[in-house]
Chain A
Amino acid sequence: MVEEALLQVKHLKKYYEIPQGLFKKDIIVRAVDDVSFTVNRGETFALVGESGCGKSTTGKTILRLTDPTEGQVIFNGTDVAGLEYNEMRSLRKQLQMVFQDPYASLNPKKTIKQILMEPLRVHNQFDEKDRLQKIKDMLEIVGLSKDYLDRYPHEFSGGQRQRIGIARAVILQPDFIVADEPVSALDVSVQSQVINLMLDLQKEFGLTYLFISHDLSVIEHMTDRVAVMYLGKIVEVADTETLFKDPKHPYTQALISAVPISHPAENKERVILKGDVPSPANPPSGCAFHTRCPFAMDICRQVAPETKTFSDGHTASCHLYTKSEEEQKYVTSDSK
């Protein structure tokens, strides 16, 4: 497969200001702080991190559901961040989103037909008479009966609703879908159904996914490349297999080791992190992870680490690797 960049995110920043009153300085929350990555056509790119790390904000900013503070989002050669409202609106034909909570993301007052008709109407796709047929086809693809057309969202279970949410995103035949925790609200047996559906759709329509999740086992299963986020910054990017085999950043190592075992006889070395994620309103100085990092050194408290490239497409930002080779060896062998 020829790697062709479909989406490039360059130095994306999204800051929120919290006013503290007339004479006090506003607090600035750096929800997304200088994030850059590239998503190739046809691949599934994952953003992983704990709650509050800015992964959902990144997804929303790419679609301009919130405006970025700074930076560029280049989709198919156009800078999304600079577009007018109307241009952006028509570009959303190619950029769609699947939301986390299938209970909150479907309008309870509309029937399934209306919900699926809306994107077609807004973007003026197909003749009016063909639209209904298109909707019926789409329902069949996502595994729902066309008898459901006149029902309301509350009549469906969580898994079925998520199918409707996916149908709504795919019906415009977009190139790119941002899926924000699409399966985390679902039960195990239903979760696997929805993951299968997403894999099938990707094959059928050649979709590119930005898959946002905190569930590492799902990520390991269905994505091609992963970016690990911590407090608004990307700390490590790698191919999924490389990341799970050879995680470089101590945070990635801890995250992977925290995943529950899949068989009771499995014996797992645990890196248990101390403490909680610090507030993004008041991030630690230097490397944001130093407060919880088992290998923190003096330099980590003062200077933010630079990004270091290991092999093809594997990068991590950590002082452990910017130091001399010998120390690096010592630390990596120690961590395993």
Chain B
Amino acid sequence: MSDAILEVKNLKIQFKSGKETVQPIRGVDFTLKKGETLGVVGESGSGKSVTSLAVMGLLPETSSEIVDGEINFNGKDLTKMKEKQFRKIRGNEISMIFQEPMTSLNPVFTIGQQLSEPLRQHRNMSKKEIEKEIIDVLNQVGIPRAEQIINEYPHQLSGGMRQRVMISLALLCQPELMIADEPTTALDVTIQAQILELMKDIKDKNDMSLLLITHDLGVVAEMCDRVVVMYAGEIVEVAEINELFDEPRHPYTRGLIDSMPTQNARKERLYSISGQVPKPNEITKGCVFANRCPLAFDKCFEEAPPVFEKGDHISKCWLQDSKEGEVV
């Protein structure tokens, strides 16, 4: 259980827009252990999707650049890999489920044609074997009348069905690592419950590791073993799931948990974090969260906090500094 399947070390990503360069990811570190579900939480603009695209090697080549850092997958550094080598891994050993199932399926190909693509890429199989494999996987994700569905187009399916097709697409080559980027955000609650249940099942059955990216703490509470909290391109806290909810160390994590409606008395004002996530070009010195933090003191505006470790619980906040510890 303990060996890491994915290690992201000090990852820094830069984007060029016109003459300016912005750096939405500034030093991200985390490890995903084999067989575990790691949640990445953060609001829009916190850099969680960019991180996942970097792991998949899907960042736009012309406008982005990995300035520094490593992404180690099973001991291989993905950032150094050439496109041709990457193709052997992508969809085969690592696969991804996207947020919006309608835009990520191609509307002019049938489900069967789209599902056969990863198998044709990575496996040496005859047409008959491919079809059998596809129907197997479709049945596994709970799609009824799979034999007919493979001849239908994405628009003929409902949102929940399309997301099931996306999951089966990601499953086909039995990847070791699955990245799910907001897999249920576009779905209704009852369908969300179905899909989450399905993902849990599939993960256990196929012995995969799952990197789950979401902004919904409820989904995290439901699915994850450990959680990474991102804010404005940095990781502010990493903790085991129960520990994160019981004693969040970073004020941002605490704010996120406290602002869930279920954590507040009915009809009362909700706890809220004032202000909004800074844009990458607005970030100055000091802690990124300082301008919204209710507990910020002088040091926070002067110097960026280092990583404080307490066992497996990592947080980036001056309050965790033993000298300032009593402030908490």
Tell me the A residues contacting B by CB distance below 8 Å.
50-51, 157, 159-160, 187-193, 195-196, 199-200, 214, 216-218, 220-222, 240-241, 254-255, 257-266, 270, 272-274, 276-277
A-B contact pairs, 11 of them (CB 8 A): A50-B188, A188-B217, A188-B260, A189-B272, A221-B264, A255-B189, A258-B189, A262-B260, A262-B262, A263-B245, A264-B221
B194-233 interface bits toward A, Cβ cutoff 8 Å, 1 = contact, 0 = none:
1011000000000000000001111101101000000000
Taking CB atoms, residues of chain A closer than 8 Å to B194 are 272-274
Contacts of A216 in B (CB 8 A): 189
B192 A258 Cβ-Cβ under 8 A: yes
Q: Which of A193, A195, A196, A270 contacts B193 (CB 8 A)?
A: A270
Interface residues on chain B, size class? 35 or more
Contact (Cβ within 8 A) B43 A218: no
CA separation between A262 and B267, bound complex, in Å?
18
Q: Which residues of B contact A260 (CB under 8 A)?
A: 192, 196, 216, 218-219, 221-222
Residues of B within 8 A of A (CB): 43-44, 158-161, 188-194, 196-197, 215-219, 221-222, 224, 241-242, 245, 255-256, 259-264, 266-267, 269-274, 276-277
Cβ–Cβ < 8 Å partners of B262 in chain A: 217, 220-221, 262
Task: Give CA–CA (A187, B191) in the complex, Å.
Answer: 21
Pairs A-B, 5 closest by C-beta atoms: A260-B218, A221-B261, A192-B272, A258-B193, A192-B270
What distance in Å separates the Cβ of A151 from its nearest Cβ neighbour in chain B?
Answer: 16
With a cutoff of 8 Å between Cβ atoms, the chain B residues found around residue A218 in the complex are 261
Given the contacts A220-B262, A258-B192, A193 and B272 also touching, CB distance less than 8 Å = yes
A259 to B218, CA, bound (A): 8
A189 and chain B: residue at smallest CB distance: B273
Grouping DSSP codes into helix (H, G, I), strand (E, B) and loop, the B interface class, with mixed when no group exceeds half, is helix
B221 touches A263 (CB 8 A): yes
B267 touches A199 (CB 8 A): yes
Roughly how many angstroms separate A298 CA and B72 CA in the complex, as a whole number? 58
CB distance from A209 to the nearest CB of B (A): 13
Q: Is the CB of B217 within 8 A of A273?
A: no
Of all chain B residues, the one with the shortest Cβ separation from A268 is: B222
- Residue among A159, A254, A262 with most chain B CB within 10 A: A262
* Contact residues in A for B218 (Cβ distance below 8 Å): 217, 259-262
Report how far A214 CA is from B192 CA in the complex, Å. Answer: 12
Given the known interface contacts A221-B270, A265-B242, the answer about A187 and B44 at a Cβ–Cβ threshold of 8 Å is yes
Across the interface, name the chain A residue whose C-beta is closest to B193: A258
List of B residues within 8 angstroms of A221 by Cβ: 261-262, 264, 266-267, 270
Chain B residues positioned under 8 Å from A188 (CB to CB) = 43, 215-217, 256, 259-260
Residue of chain B at shortest CB distance from A279:
B158
Set of chain A residues within 8 Å of B193, measured between Cβ atoms: 257-258, 270, 272-273
- Say yes or no: A214-B188 contact (C-beta < 8 A), given A157-B276, A199-B269, A261-B222: yes
CA distance A254 to B215 in the complex (A): 23
Q: Which residues of B contact A262 (CB under 8 A)?
A: 217-218, 221, 260, 262-263
| CB-nearest residue of chain A to B227 | A264
Instruction: Determine how close the nearest CB of chain A comes to the CB of B239; give it in whole angstroms.
Output: 11
**Nearest A residue (CB) for B271:** A192
Which one of B188, B217, B277 has the greatest number of beta carbons of chain A within 10 Å? Answer: B188
User: Quick one: closest A residue to B45, CB to CB?
Assistant: A187
The chain B residue sitting closest to A194, CB to CB, is B272
List, in ascending order, chain A residues with CB within 8 A of B263's CB: 262
**CB-defined contacts of B161 to chain A, threshold 8 Å:** 276
Q: Shortest distance in angstroms between B188's beta carbon and chain A's nearest beta carbon?
A: 4
Contacts of B271 in A (CB 8 A): 192
Chain A CB within 10 A, most for which of B158, B190, B259, B276 = B190
Residues of B contacting A222 with CB < 8 Å?
261, 266-267
Residue of B nearest to A266 (CB): B221
CB neighbours of A214 from chain B (8 A): 188-189
- With A260-B221, A260-B222, A265-B242 known as contacts, the answer to whether A277 contacts B188 (CB < 8 A) is yes
- In the assembly, what is the distance between CA of A259 and CA of B242, in Å? 19
Once the chains are docked, how many angstroms separate the CA of A262 from the CA of B270?
Answer: 15
| B276 partner residues in chain A, CB cutoff 8 A | 157, 159-160, 189-190
* A188-B43, A188-B260 known; A220-B266 Cβ under 8 A: yes
* Chain A contacts for B189, CB-based, 8 A: 50, 214, 216, 255, 258-259
Q: What residue in chain B is nearest A200 (Cβ atoms)?
A: B269
**Bound CA span A266–B266, Å:** 19
Query: Which residues on B sit within 8 Å (CB–CB) of A273?
Result: 190, 193-194
Which chain B positions have C-beta within 8 A of A259? Answer: 189, 218
- CB contacts (< 8 Å) of B222 on chain A: these are 260-261, 264
A10–B192 Cα gap in the complex (Å)? 33
B192, B264, B270: residue with the most chain A Cβ atoms closer than 10 Å: B270
Bound complex: CA of A273 vs CA of B142, how far in Å?
Answer: 13
Contact between chains at B160 and A276 (CB < 8 Å): yes
Please give, as numbers and ranges, the residues of chain B lying within 8 Å of A240 by CB-CB distance.
Answer: 266
Cα A6 to Cα B44 in complex, Å, equals 39
